Amino acid sequence: MSPADADAYPSPRYAVFGQPVSHSLSPAIHAAFGRALSIPLRYEAIEAAPADFADALAAFAAGGGRGGNVTLPLKELAVPLCASLGDSARRAGAVNTLVRRGDGWHGENTDGRGLVRDLTDRAGLDLRARRTLLIGAGGAARGVAPALLDAGIGDLYIVNRTGGRADALADALGQPGRVHPRYLDDAGKLGEFDLVINATSAGRGSGLPILPRSVLAHRAVAVDLNYGEVAVRFLSWARAAGAHDVVDGLGMLVEQAAEGFALWHGVRPDTDEVYRQLRSRNALLVTAD
């Protein structure tokens, strides 16, 4: 980077990449973390279509980018763009956090740790031995599945409209007998689940999966990895179907951001105040906390 470029970017640059991405709360979250810890940074949202992601990431690095977050639909596409991968990203086959190391990107995935921390520490849920239904097999599902297994859930059923993607995720997780890929249309035949997680982005359109009430066990927890209006449809269904607890993805968003911030800056910020402020402005649909 030339001296002129360095003068143009006096604070280290960070960004979230996605499509769409203008709605993202990540810039506000990381700005709050930086203020709390007196760490200067510049964090922006960069819209990137899948076909343009590699070029957008290269331009960001050339302009002084030191770290990034990756959201839908780019998490799996980020994997081959990384020179190295952490264990979480390698197991997931998806990247949500980028760290600049030398001339290349190191990829991590903090989604799963963020989700587990939100559900256990903030919502006070015991995940152990919960029979779990994971809806979707894309980048979001890949990010959380390994951490859920590590947290001690029981059998994990992955349902997806495209059976091949569910099979591929199950194969990547490598726990036959505990992980079961199925077609989405078969969800109603699989019995009751203690934990039902929507890892699709269907709430953004009209394609939200319709599940029978029978998938929810007594005192079941329903989780949508989305937050805000995108989570309304699924969690409204879960409430009407009798879920004991419903949780949106806002807490997970904050916790995974804190994990990424620690990778960039060597210190993990406290999340409670940032979560409280965001929750006061996004106060829908959470009853587990």
Residues 155 and 231 in one domain: yes
Residue 249, marked binder: yes
Distance separating alpha carbons of residues 221 and 236, to the nearest angstrom? 13
| Residue 54 structure tokens | 């590699």
Residues 93 and 126 in one domain: no
Determine which one of 66, 75, 113, 142 is catalytic: 75
Confirm whether 189 is a catalytic residue: no
Pick the residue with more confidence: 87 or 281?
Answer: 87
CA distances from residue 260 to 190, 265, 286 in whole angstroms, order as listed: 36, 9, 24
Instruction: Give residue-wise pLDDT tens across range 116-137.
Output: 999 999 999 999 999 999 999 9
Residues 139 and 247 in one domain: yes
Residues 74 and 120 in one domain: no
Residue 209: what pLDDT? 66
Q: What angle do CA 193, 196, 202 make, to 5 degrees?
A: 140
Residue 216, in any domain of the structure: yes
Residues 69 and 164 in one domain: no
**pTM attached to this predicted model:** 0.91
Residues 129 and 105 in one domain: no
Residues 207 and 102 in one domain: no
Residue 287, in any domain of the structure: no
The 3-state DSSP class for residue 243 equals coil
Residue 281: what pLDDT? 82
Is pLDDT above 50 for 37?
Answer: yes
Residue 175, marked binder: no
The 3-state DSSP class for residue 39 equals coil
Average pLDDT over residues 154-165: 95
Across-strand partners of 13? 42, 65
Residue 10: what pLDDT? 61
Distance separating alpha carbons of residues 269 and 257, to the nearest angstrom? 9
Residue 23: what pLDDT? 87
Is pLDDT above 90 for 43?
Answer: yes
Residue 205: what pLDDT? 52
Is pLDDT above 60 for 71?
Answer: yes
Least confident of 13-22, 78-87, 113-122, 207-216: 207-216
Average pLDDT over residues 26-38: 97
Residue 87: what pLDDT? 94
Instruction: Provide the domain limits for residue 178.
Output: 112-251
Residue 11: what pLDDT? 76
Question: pLDDT-derived band of residue 143, with 50, 70 and 90 as boundaries?
Answer: very high
Is pLDDT above 60 for 149?
Answer: yes
Residue 283: what pLDDT? 59
Residues 152 and 247 in one domain: yes
Residue 32, in any domain of the structure: yes
Residue 286, in any domain of the structure: no
| Residue 98 structure tokens | 């980028």
Residues 46 and 162 in one domain: no
Is pLDDT above 50 for 208?
Answer: yes
Pick the residue with more confidence: 8 or 279?
Answer: 279
Residue 226, marked binder: no
Contact 225, 247 (CB under 8 A): no
Residue 225, marked binder: yes
> How many domains, the chain?
2
Contact 151, 131 (CB under 8 A): no
Average pLDDT over residues 192-211: 79
Q: What is the CATH classification number for the domain harbouring 172?
A: 3.40.50.720
Distance separating alpha carbons of residues 219 and 205, to the nearest angstrom? 29
Q: What is the CATH classification number for the domain harbouring 62?
A: 3.40.50.10860
Residue 96, marked binder: yes
Residues 142 and 106 in one domain: no
Instruction: Give residue-wise pLDDT tens across range 216-258.
Output: 999 999 999 999 888 999 999 999 999 999 999 999 999 999 9
Average pLDDT over residues 148-164: 96
Residue 288, in any domain of the structure: no
Residues 83 and 127 in one domain: no
Distance separating alpha carbons of residues 116 and 151, to the nearest angstrom? 7
Starting at the earlier edge strand, list the strands of the sheet with 193-198: 179-183, 156-160, 132-135, 193-198, 216-224, 245-247
Residue 140, marked binder: yes
Of all helices (H) and strands (E), which one includes residue 59?
helix 53-62
Residue 14, marked binder: no
Question: By percentage, how much of the chain surpasses pLDDT 90?
Answer: 86
What is the gyration radius of the CA atoms in the chain, in angstroms?
A: 19
Distance separating alpha carbons of residues 61 and 289, to the nearest angstrom? 39
Residue 139, in any domain of the structure: yes
Residues 117 and 225 in one domain: yes
Interacting residues of 269 by C-beta distance below 8 A, sequence separation 6+:
33, 36, 37, 258, 261, 262
Of all helices (H) and strands (E), which one includes residue 95?
none
When the pLDDT of each residue in the chain is averaged and rounded to a whole number, the result is: 92
Is pLDDT above 90 for 1?
Answer: no
Question: By percentage, how much of the chain surpasses pLDDT 70?
Answer: 91
Pick the residue with more confidence: 288 or 266?
Answer: 266
Residue 288: what pLDDT? 34
